[in-house]
Amino acid sequence: MNPGRSASRRLSRAAAIVGVGHTDWVGDWTRVRNGEKPSDSYGYGAIAFRAALADAGLTRADIDGVIAGPTTAYERMSEVLGINPRWGDQADAVLSVAQALTAIETGLAETVALVYGNDQRSAQIQYGGPQAMGGDAFLSYVYHAPWGLTSQGALYALTFQAWKHARGFDEVDLGHIAVAQRAWASMNPNAVMKKRITLDDYREARYICEPLRLFDYCMINDGGVALIVTTAERAKRLAKPPVYVQGLGRRDLNVGATSLEPRLTEFYLPAQQDCARQAYDMAGFGPSDMDLFQVYDSFSVHVPLALEGYGYCEVGGAGRFLREEGIGPGGRLPTNTSGGHLSETYMQGWAHQIECVRQLRGECGERQVPECRHAHYTSDVAGKAVSIIYSR
């Protein structure tokens, strides 16, 4: 028997998300553009946390674990929220869910709040240039500074340039992603960018870093997100239908990770394929059973790489899949149905978790995926490929 497989099967459906909340992304977008400073990162997190508690029907006294998203410290976030947790940490969106699951399973905590806040637009955070993220080595791409290449957009442009030649992908087919996600966003009252676009709009948009155009880039906006995770047993007694963590996988490629070499050479394919095997095995089903696909999309390039890496189409088949099968409304594989980072909000993967929960609860109104039972979220950056499968 494989001990790792046995342990992962025990974790399947051991915990559930029971509350979600977020800030007023649309309103704050307007306020920041008008020169206002609605809040800081901790304040945005606190607003989202209160909304998530209300959604779950819980109080602060019910929370005994806190995970703070990057940009904030776990200890200070706990103080701001008025919580004295017995366990906590700092992690990104997808790893925070994984850590909460393991903390609950091992008895370190029973009910964990995952809280993220970011004032990146009003604070004028730079994601490229000599002062990228403060000019230090906070993120791996800053290691390119000696060559003057500190822009994530430039690195993803290099990735796409290499990948499209390796796979025979037509550059214009990338536009199907931006068009589809904007169509989803047009039905989402919480999306910042709701105006639909066409493939002609995409083709006519200027290059930011060739071959990536304006619509291939995520927006930068302020906001916060919070999730409440608890035991499967407790989840059954709360206000909203629980959304279970059904599957989980992770595979790291550490050699060359600080320069994003795995993305520039193998396009993360080996990591994604191994991560997929883990998540599908833990869940007990695979890509043909998924009703919803959510992909971390700081750039549109993430989506076709994930379609191939996680088995939704054959390697080399992403272009045909986007053209003929579709990921937008009416398409075969609803993908980033909130609008994603390109059109809804750039919450660094956190808002994608909310969309999974709301779709599985059936709360998405006009954009609701019919009979949504299973949702798959993926993230891959800086040498790590991680996946979570949620089920109702």
Domain definitions of the chain by residue range: 3-124+222-235, 151-216+246-391
The reply to whether 151-216+246-391 shares the fold of 3-124+222-235 is yes
Q: Cα-flanking dihedrals φ and ψ of residue 299, to 5°?
A: -140, 150
Neighbours of 25 (CB within 10 A): 22
Q: Residue 120 burial by CB count (10 A; 0-12/13-18/19+): exposed, middle or buried?
A: buried
Q: Residue 127 burial by CB count (10 A; 0-12/13-18/19+): exposed, middle or buried?
A: middle
- How far apart CA 392 and CA 386 sit, in angstroms, is 20
Contact 279, 252 (CB under 8 A): no
Per-residue model confidence (pLDDT) at position 262: 79
Nearest to 222 by CA among 28, 35, 355: 28
Per-residue model confidence (pLDDT) at position 135: 46
* Residue at token pair 């701001």: 80
Q: Give the chain's length.
A: 392
Nearest to 303 by CA among 330, 340, 277, 278: 340
Per-residue model confidence (pLDDT) at position 103: 96
CATH fit for domain 151-216+246-391, picks 3.40.50.970, 2.70.170.10, 3.40.47.10, 3.40.50.300 = 3.40.47.10
Contact 80, 47 (CB under 8 A): no
**Residues with pLDDT less than 50, the chain:** 1, 3, 135-138
- CATH architecture of the domain 3-124+222-235 equals 3-Layer(aba) Sandwich (3.40)
Contact 331, 214 (CB under 8 A): no
Per-residue model confidence (pLDDT) at position 254: 83
Q: Describe the strand order of the beta sheet including 87-90 as a list of residue ranges.
A: 87-90, 65-68, 111-118, 223-231, 15-22, 243-252, 384-391, 374-381, 292-295
Per-residue model confidence (pLDDT) at position 137: 44
For the record, the structure tokens of 344 come out as: 């809804």
Strand stretches in 31-181, DSSP E: 65-68, 87-90, 111-118
For the record, the structure tokens of 353 come out as: 């978790």
Per-residue model confidence (pLDDT) at position 202: 98
Neighbours of 247 (CB within 10 A): 27
Sign of the four-CA dihedral 247, 68, 88, 65: negative
- For residue 223, the cross-strand partners are 118
22 Cβ contact list (under 8 Å, min separation 6): 48, 51, 190, 223, 224, 225, 226, 345, 347, 351, 354
